[in-house]
Structure 1
Amino acid sequence: MTIKTGKLTDPAVRAFVNAVNDGDQEACLSILTPDATMADDGSDRDVAQWIDREIFSSRGHMDVVNESNRGQDLVVNYRNDTWGEMRTRWHFDVTGDGHIARFETGQA
């Protein structure tokens, strides 16, 4: 069972998931702070390059299975054309003005 994106608790995380699932790279980048950082399986990556490669160039899609920590921690069935489908965890650090300053993802 997945959680409908519109039901996600945190507005910034909801906007991120919507942007990913809509294939809208501009909207995804606009929800991030200008100096946002990220990590994949514990290794820091260049945010813009990673988002382009792992999400938008490979048609990424997030089906949220569970949320916790006020909606800033997700368990997701993530799929893209490069890796297929896998269970992943996502953690988002959201600023007071509703932007994502950092996200971390990896195998769940």
Structure 2
Amino acid sequence: MPIQVTRLSDPAVRAFVSAVNAHDREAFEAALAPGATMSDDGSDRDLAEWCDREIFASHGHMDVDREAQNGRSLTAVYRNDTYGEMRTKWTFFVDDGKITRFETGQA
């Protein structure tokens, strides 16, 4: 059974997951620090391009199964219209309440 988004421990991560699931680009960008970076399966990606393709254009959605590291490490079932459903891991780096970097990949 997935963890309810409202019960995720870290407020910045909670805002990120909420924005992804609501397809709310404004809230998503508000959860990120200026200059935030990301990687997918170990390779750095252009954050804006990746998020457009993997989240917003393809209706991405996260169902969080587990959290660790005070809510900054998640295991989730991620699905979108492009790739379907896959088990993923997410690690977030947070500074001053904003996500400065996230790393994702298949779990």
CA RMSD of aligned residues (A): 0.5
Runs of 4+ in 1 over 3 A off after TM superposition: none
- Work out the number of aligned pairs and report it: 107
Of Structure 1 and Structure 2, the greater helix share is in 2
TM-superposed deviation, 1:51: 0.6
Name the TM-score, length of structure 2 as normaliser. 0.99
Q: Which residue is equivalent to 1:17?
A: 17
TM-superposed deviation, 1:47: 0.6
| In structure 1, C-alpha distance between the alignment counterparts of 2:49 and 2:33, rounded to whole Å | 15
Q: Which structure 2 residue ranges, 5 or more long, are not aligned?
A: none
Matches within 5 A, 1:59-98: 59-95=59-95, 97-98=96-97
Name the TM-score, length of structure 1 as normaliser. 0.98
Identical residues among aligned pairs (%): 64
TM-superposed deviation, 1:34: 1.1
SS in structure 1 of the partner of residue 54 of structure 2: helix
